[in-house]
Amino acid sequence: MALYGAIEAGGTKFVLAVGEDPAQPREVVRIPTSNNPSETLGEVIRYFTRQRGLAGLGVASFGPLDFKDGTITNTPKLAWQGFPLRDTLQKALGLAVALETDVNAAALGEARCGAGRGVEDLVYITVGTGIGGGVLSGGKLVHGRMHSEIGHLLVGRAPDEDEQFEGVCPFHGDCLEGLASGPAMEQRWGEPADGLPEGHLAWLLEAEYLGRACVNLACVLSPRMIVLGGGVMTQGHLLPLIRRRVSELANGYLPLPDIVAPGCEYPALSGALALAMEAAA
């Protein structure tokens, strides 16, 4: 069986793996994301050069991405803006390289070998330092002019409870990411989300915003499943609160998607391996 490479490129770390099968990324290593992209890519290239007989590489990257140029377009890490991520890897390794957003790759990973095995209409959302979402529709990853930016959905503010909080998104203030990301919770409540006890109003508010986003996505995309991952979602009590709110907000009108936790250990790496296989075929 051929061997494929996978990268999950993030703003703080790059996670690298190889595998014959998207369900089993192995030799997983993490390297810090340097302010100098050539330095990080140098380490990435050394890792994959050591692997024998690689047939293709999938890159699941933070964005926003320009798929035509194979670059990251707009990031506070200025040296990464416009850096030729895809072409640098392609030239150095001599492989077919597929570039996707981290969250689109994660949606594919979950649909191939995670919670949504065999599901063709699936949304993956990560709720962490930022909020991002990827969309698989009719078995295909959705690209528009760019790609989805689910983290910046304008979900509206909860009345009463949240009037005073401006939100943390530098572009919009109170978009979904501005109101419901880990840093938004920390700023609103004055302590990191992992210290807030079950039963705290913080979790009802979190379920309100994520519930609104899920209903909006159900209205636009009619997915069969929405997978919710990321650091904030490791709070197991949050998922049932979101399901309940989605059901209340949809009020019987829509067939509701299953709202579930990820099934893959590394959803984006699994998706990147699947993309590498397609790129090499």
For ligand ADP, the binding residues (CB under 6 A) are 10, 12, 126, 128-130, 182-183, 186, 192-194, 230-232, 234-235
Q: What sign results for the dihedral spanned by CA atoms 9, 4, 54, 26?
A: positive
Which lies closer to Zn ion via its Cβ, residue 22 or residue 151?
Answer: 151
Contact partner, 193, from ligand ADP, Zn ion, none, Cβ < 5-8 Å per class: ligand ADP
CB of 62 to ligand ADP, least distance (A): 9
Choosing among ligand ADP, Zn ion, none, which partner's interface includes residue 171 (Cβ < 5 to 8 Å by kind)? Answer: Zn ion
Determine whether 121 is exposed, middle or buried from the number of CB atoms within 10 Å of its CB (0-12, 13-18, 19+): middle
Per partner kind, with CB cut-offs from 5 to 8 A, the member of ligand ADP, Zn ion, none near residue 32 is none
We find the least distance from the C-beta atom of residue 255 to ligand ADP, in angstroms, to be: 29
Least distance in angstroms from the C-beta of 248 to Zn ion: 25
Cβ nearer to Zn ion, comparing 172 with 243: 172
Rounded to a whole number of angstroms, the minimum distance from the CB of residue 179 to Zn ion is 9
Q: How far is the CB of 42 from ligand ADP (least distance, A)?
A: 23
- Residues interacting with Zn ion, by CB under 5 A? 152, 169, 171-172, 175
Residue 152 binds which entry of ligand ADP, Zn ion, none, with Cβ cut-offs from 5 to 8 Å by kind? Zn ion
Return the number of the residue (138 or 236) whose C-beta is nearest ligand ADP.
236
Provide the minimum distance between the beta carbon of 196 and ligand ADP in the complex, in angstroms, as a whole number.
Answer: 7
Shorter beta-carbon distance to ligand ADP: residue 221 or 228: 228
